[in-house]
Structures are given as C-alpha cells and as structure tokens.
Structure 1
C-alpha cells in the first residue's frame, strides 16, 4: 500500500469514526444529558433490585441496620454488574472480558449511587427502623433513589464525556 493510500485509508477511517461518534452522540464533547440519564437509569435498575432484595432479606432475617445495608450494597453491585454483563455477553464477549467491561463501566456510578441513597436512608428519621410493611420505609427508599439518580447523572455525564463509565459499554452494542 502506498503512503498516499495509507493516509487515505486512515483519513476514511477517521471520517467514519467521527461520523459514527457524531451520529450516535458518543464522541468527545458529544455527551448528552439523555445519554447520562439513560446510563444512570440502567445503573439505578441494578442498584434498586439489589438494594430492595438486600433490605427484604436483612429484615426477614432480623439483621441490624449495618448488616442489612452491607447486604443491600453488595447485592446492588452484583445486580448492577450483572445487568451490564448480560448485554456485553450477548455481543459474544467472554465472561472474563464482560466482567472487566462491567467493572470499568459501572463501579464509579454504583459507588456514588450507593453512598447517596444509603446516606439518604440513614438521615431520614425512622426510615431504617420502619420495616418493610411501612410506607415510611418505601417512601424514603423511593426518595433516596430519586436523589441518587439526580446526583449520579452528572457524574455519568462527565465519565462518558471522558470515554469512561458507560462509554466503555457502547463498543459492545
């Protein structure tokens, strides 16, 4: 291949990459609030499944607040990573590679979300002691998820704009 052809090939590839980034909104500086909100909603789904399950199990077993929160946070990470891995595995990637992608894509987002929503649950008077049959518990949890979504969305927007977080997953869709 001549130098001109190599240059032309790189130029065409570059144009395609720029076109694809512009068309799909995944390029540097093209991160939208919608993209960030969707990434955060994806994260929130896994976190909510894990947290609710952890709260139900911890409460059913009569565990204290610290043990119940620890279980809920652990399960939030498990379900958050699992939701990402399902999509990546469908792209034909190995389990090990899918796990690496999920860790890169979701760790910061889940961590921020867990700190915020558990912090809200702890500061709402009586929420952690209200029990699963209480409207206070479920109302506080719903409020905690809303606050966590609002705090985590700008974090995800920044991460995606830097090519990190959920931007890592886009290569597999």
Structure 2
C-alpha cells in the first residue's frame, strides 16, 4: 500500500510531476482539484464563488480525507490544501508527503506561461506577481515544510527537465523509505 501526496505552491508542477511519478512507480494518480470538480460537477472558481473560501476548504478537506484512504496512489493537492485545518497531519499520517519547492521568480515565470486560469492571480503582471507570490508563499511555507520530503525544483520547461525532477523525487522517496 502506497500513498504519496505532492504539495507546493500553484504553478510549481505538482500535477505534471505527479502524473509522471505515478506512471514511473506504477501507481494511480489523482489531482485533488480535478477530483473535487468531478464530484461536484463545478469548477474550482465556481465552488469558491458559490461557497466562499471557507465552504470550499470544507469541501476540499472532505475530498482529501476520502482520497487519503485510497491505496497505491499519488495525490497532487491544490496549493492551499495543506494550509487549512490539520490537512498536513492527515496527509503525513496517511502516507509520504513531498513538498515541491521553487524560487518566487521561477513560480512567477511558470504562472505567467500557464494556460490554467487561476483566479488569485488573474490579470497580474510578472512585476505584480513577484511580491504577491512572495507574501503568499511565506504565509503557506510553514505548512509545506511539514512534508517528509522537500524537493527543490528550479526548471520544468523541457520534457527532459520534467523527467529529471520525476526521477529525483522517486529517488528521494526510495531513500526516505530506506531510512525510515
């Protein structure tokens, strides 16, 4: 039985790396935001709009508890999921947590290039994104740092860089299991 949770700031590459890691390790993959959208038949922005952030975080927590009981799975969480309730404790108790960490400038570049609509940063220029990400990340990082494994990723632009990151995280998971 294997459960791996990937946490980190939006745009860091949790879903991309999670899918590749699941394929490499022969596990199922769940993107928690997609799981929620499928279950509620609404987009994350619509769930936020209809329920407010507190209501959305309750929905997210219930979904996290549900998927934390699945076996042989890699779960990519939304950027805020680890920061509410005792969600990091839930994930740490259920399996191995991996914090994918990147510099603020790298996150800004990735978010600017992303085709995904992210309501928190919609319409922000790169110059506006950097202080926003910096402040937001510093508030969230204490939760992310509770992860069992912290993996620093500097570039995920090419397929080769993505594969290097996937292999690096897989190796850290193996090392963690060995030491544990």
Structure having the higher strand fraction is 2
Q: Which has the larger radius of gyration?
A: 1
Structure having the higher helix fraction is 1
User: Is the structural similarity TM-score above 0.5?
Assistant: no
Structure with higher RCO (Cα < 8 A, 6+ apart): 2
